[in-house]
């Protein structure tokens, strides 16, 4: 753990004091969170990809021992620690996706991810390699997920991961701006404005599972926006899922106090002081700590040619040595078999497809 995290004891009503508290206006003044791959590091990745291809390994069967990176591994180790117990944001630039086949890009991305965390499933279809591209879905549909649409996605965090990353294969014709914000900074600013609204977000709210229901579970679950546990504060802010859970008549209605608290999160997230906008180009990999960071994407327009459509690959990770987490994170989707950390969405298979399904 970083020195800044040692000995902290965050309680309701107290500000978070940790590197994960950052302000976008300050963050944007430096680029120490961005790593541009060197020629030697690109060659390192190429050698690792060639080695696993020669063995005929399926992507889901590639392990960290299969994907040795003697040059790049120290960089990824530092990035990993920055994600888990630092600011929670990082980027790698320069993956040569234009020169790689789709399979080679996917293997490269998967191999990098093996040095970050344990890949978990992202939907009920068992996808561990996700595809963020417009499939014609409507993000407002209670039985779909926003990554399958070109719609604007308000600030949120993802529903089943500790760490997440996105590799850009193709960017959109227009729109699709990516932004991130520190949830801890939002928490602290809310404390200055209205501590009672922070308290409202520390109380459990119902979230819609949107059709992805584990066996024996209800189609909704309870989780607070701000969760305090063993000296850490983690966030779960997925407002669309909170609001769509209101379709279940047996659940209590959101109170005016809860709505005001959710509104304040969104207001602060979009503020110029807190928000960090990120240019996202082919070959970029964006990493965030999903427990401490919210992210968003604006509506976008695609190129008319199918092969030029905006297309990102996504990985969700469990972090075997991550922060201690409250039971509710395990109640949501269970634990991984490998490390016992909170798992992704329950599924009967694990697949890494090269095209969106």
pLDDT in tens, 184-210: 999 999 999 999 999 999 999 999 998
Q: Are 103 and 308 in contact (CB under 8 A)?
A: no
Residues 6 or more apart whose CB falls under 8 angstroms from that of 46 comprise: none
What does the block give as tokens for 140? 């407002």
Angstrom distance (rounded) from CA 301 to CA 228: 40
Distances (CA, A) of 87 to 24, 174, 293, 315: 11, 29, 9, 19
The answer to the question of residue 44 being in a domain is yes
- Phi and psi of 169, rounded to 5°? -90, -45
Mention every residue, 6+ apart, whose C-beta is less than 8 A from residue 138.
144, 149, 151
pLDDT at 6: 37
Tell me whether residue 7 is in a domain: no
Mean pLDDT, all residues of the chain: 90
Model confidence pLDDT, tens digit, residues 311-340: 999 999 999 999 999 999 988 878 887 889
**Alpha carbon distance 177, 161 (integer Å):** 22
Q: How far apart are CA 127 and CA 131, in angstroms?
A: 9
Question: pLDDT at position 315, please?
Answer: 98
Tell me the C-alpha distance between 114 and 305, whole Å: 33
Q: Is 2 within the bounds of a domain?
A: no
**pLDDT of amino acid 1:** 34
- What is the spatial distance between Cα 231 and Cα 154, in angstroms, rounded to a whole number? 29
Q: What percentage of the chain carries pLDDT values higher than 90?
A: 73
End-to-end CA distance of the chain: 39
Q: What is the pLDDT of residue 11?
A: 80
**Count of the separate structural domains present in the chain:** 1
346 lies in a domain? no
Name the residue range of residue 247's domain: 12-333
Q: What is the pTM of this model?
A: 0.92
pLDDT exceeds cutoff 60 at 259: yes
Per-residue pLDDT tens for 260-311? Answer: 999 999 999 999 999 999 988 999 999 999 999 999 987 767 778 888 888 9
| CATH number, position 205 | 3.60.130.10
Task: Using DSSP, state whether 230 is helix, strand or coil.
Answer: coil
* pLDDT score recorded for residue 142: 55
Residue pair 148/135 in contact (Cβ under 8 Å)? The answer is yes
182 phi and psi, to 5 degrees?
-75, 120
Predicted pLDDT of residue 7: 37
Compute the residue count for the chain.
357
């Amino acid at each position: 753990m970083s020195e800044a995290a040692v000995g902290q004891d965050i309680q309701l009503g107290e500000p978070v004091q940790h590197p994960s508290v950052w302000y976008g206006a300050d963050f944007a003044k430096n680029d120490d969170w961005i790593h541009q791959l060197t020629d030697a590091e690109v060659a390192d990745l190429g050698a690792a990809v060639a080695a696993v291809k020669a063995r005929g390994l399926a992507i889901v069967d590639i392990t960290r021992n299969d994907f040795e990176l003697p040059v790049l591994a120290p960089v990824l180790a530092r990035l990993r620690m920055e994600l888990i117990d630092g600011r929670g944001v990082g980027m790698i630039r320069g993956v040569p996706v234009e020169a790689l086949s789709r399979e080679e890009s996917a293997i490269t991305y998967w191999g990098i991810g093996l040095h970050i965390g344990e890949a978990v499933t992202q939907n009920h279809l068992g996808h561990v390699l996700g595809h963020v591209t417009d499939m014609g879905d409507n993000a407002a549909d209670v039985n779909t997920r926003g990554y399958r649409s070109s719609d604007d996605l308000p600030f949120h965090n993802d529903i089943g991961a500790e760490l997440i990353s996105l590799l850009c294969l193709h960017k959109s014709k227009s729109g699709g701006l990516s932004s991130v914000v520190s949830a801890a900074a939002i928490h602290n600013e809310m404390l200055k404005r209205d501590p009672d609204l922070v308290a409202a977000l520390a109380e459990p709210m119902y979230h819609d599972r949107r059709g992805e229901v584990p066996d024996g579970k209800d189609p909704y679950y309870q989780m607070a926006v701000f969760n305090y546990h063993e000296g850490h504060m983690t966030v779960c802010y997925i407002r669309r899922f909170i609001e769509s859970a209101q379709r279940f008549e047996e659940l209590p209605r959101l109170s005016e106090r809860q709505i005001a608290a959710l509104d304040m999160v969104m207001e602060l997230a979009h503020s110029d002081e807190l928000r960090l906008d990120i240019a996202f180009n082919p070959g970029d990999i964006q990493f965030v700590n999903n427990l401490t960071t919210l992210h968003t994407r604006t509506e976008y327009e695609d190129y008319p040619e199918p092969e030029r459509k905006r297309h990102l690959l996504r990985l969700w990770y469990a972090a075997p040595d991550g922060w201690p987490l409250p039971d509710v994170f395990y109640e949501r989707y269970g634990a991984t078999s490998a490390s016992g950390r909170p798992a992704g969405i329950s599924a009967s298979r694990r697949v890494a497809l090269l095209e969106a399904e």
